[in-house]
Amino acid sequence: MTAKQSERLIVKYITNQASQDEMELLTIWLEDVDNQKVFKDFLKTNYAIDYMMSTFDASEAKKKLLLKIRQDNNVFYKRKIQSYFKYAAILIAVLGGFYFYQNLNTHSTEANNVIVPKENAIVLQVDNESEQIIDPTNTQNLTDNLGKIIGKQNKSKLVYSNLESNVKLIYNTLKIPYGKTFEVELSDGTVAYLNAGSTLRFPTQFNKKGNREVYLTGEGYFEVAKDRSHPFIVNTQEMNVEVLGTKFNVSSYAEDVATDVVLVEGKVSLYKGVKKADKMVYLSPGLKGSTVNGQGKITKVKVNTDYYTEWMKGNLVFKNASFSDIIIKLERRYSVTFINKNNTLGKEVFNARFDNESIETVLKYFSDSYAINYEINKNIIVIK
């Protein structure tokens, strides 16, 4: 499906003009995670920016679509109702967590000063099959699909047991939503601190032979257990990091323009794609290695590493950061959604530091210091 075709389908669905066949086509398209992001970005750009003029009601939309299906063909009523719920459920689920479908008070002109962050769960996927919700207040055993104990959850940390094995690697995937952070200790003793909006895929046990490899989307700080016989490799979409034992931060969010690796202690080597000796870039402590997503070059520069690790303490540090980049990080940190109607402001650069402050305090700072006006409606913040 071309971009224009997908846009037409989105518009028809939002305006309640989509037929059942078009709903099914749109739903199949939305099964791709990348398309879901395109879908939400399209809404944010073309609809949500004028949300105060909108009166969208998800329940009412479902009723209208249901009535339309009934009117289309009463003979096939039962089959169409079942198909409707099959596809509409997916569409509503995709949209349900998005700000466009919140119960906005479209008739109110006064801002609500209380922000209600979106609440999403930490999810652990076991061997690409079953998923379980991780409650950071719980303590429990971790088991594989056969019920064998492989580790333990100690509230906001997962600890995997060191049960050496030469069998096939079994992977778990830990998904951290916006507004939360989490910690996992791998079977070799390596500790990974995961930032909001991050996903880490890792084996429950590392084999005696071969490398120790994990896969990261988002941001993580790693304290790697030393093992010269088994290099530790963090794979991201744009760049790979290889170490023997060290401390470093990796930031590789899909929506960011670059992937960054900041070395705090030890030594790491960076490479893209297939590992080649003449293409490796080496970092020493205090250096940041970066690659612009989609490009082949890796650059390095001297930095203050504290700037890149303060997030583990709940702090936010912005240095020469555009306002557009700042609100992306605020969305991750506080699980809120920004709609910036001030295009000029988005390009302006700011320096600021917040030590474990609330989102209300952060907004007040920008309002008082830079005369930035905003409105709040539950978890949506509109910059004017």
Residue 200: both structure tokens together: 């880490």
CA 176, 179, 185, 190 dihedral sign is: positive
Contact between residue 89 and residue 65 where contact means Cβ atoms under 8 Å apart: no
CATH topology of domain 314-383: Phage tail protein beta-alpha-beta fold (3.55.50)
pLDDT at 76: 38
Strands 232-235, 240-243: parallel, antiparallel or unpaired by DSSP?
antiparallel
| pLDDT of res. 112 | 52
Calpha distance 76→64 (Å, rounded) = 18
pLDDT on residue 115:
84
DSSP H or E segment with residue 328: helix 323-334
Average pLDDT value for residue range 184-206: 96
Q: Looking at residue 260, what is its pLDDT?
A: 97
Q: Where are the strands (E) in 204-280, listed by range?
A: 212-223, 232-235, 240-243, 247-252, 258-265, 268-271
Look at residue 28 in the predicted model and tell me its pLDDT.
78
- 122-308 is classed CATH 2.60.120.1440: yes
Q: What is the mean pLDDT of the chain?
A: 82
The per-residue pLDDT for range 327-371, each reduced to its tens digit, is: 999 999 999 999 999 888 999 999 999 999 999 999 999 998 888
What is the C-alpha separation between 19 and 167, in angstroms, rounded?
51
Chain segment 17-53, per-residue pLDDT in tens: 666 667 777 777 877 777 877 777 666 555 543 443 3
Among 238, 249, 234, 241, residue whose Cα is nearest residue 296: 238
What letter does residue 48 receive in the DSSP assignment? G
Instruction: Provide mean pLDDT across the span 49-64.
Output: 44
Could you tell me which of 2, 56, 47, 48 has the C-alpha nearest to residue 29? 2
Q: Alpha-carbon distance 102 to 238, whole Å?
A: 34
Between 56 and 206, name the one with better pLDDT. 206
pLDDT in tens, 64-109: 445 544 444 443 334 344 444 445 555 555 554 443 333 333 333 3
Q: Identify the residue with better confidence: 38 or 257.
A: 257
**pLDDT higher than threshold 90 for residue 184:** yes
List pLDDT tens digits, range 263-311.
999 999 999 988 988 889 999 999 999 999 888 899 999 999 999 999 9
Longest dimension (CA), the chain: 72
**DSSP secondary structure, 175-210, as one string:** E--TT--EEEE-TTS-EEEE-TT-EEEEESS-BSSS
Residue with tokens 């990974």: 192
HSE-CB for 143 with a 13 A CA cutoff: 8
Record the tokens describing residue 107, joined without a space. 């008739």
Q: What pLDDT band is residue 128 in, cutting at 50, 70 and 90?
A: confident
Domain ranges of the chain: 3-101, 122-308, 314-383
Arithmetic mean of pLDDT, 227-231: 93
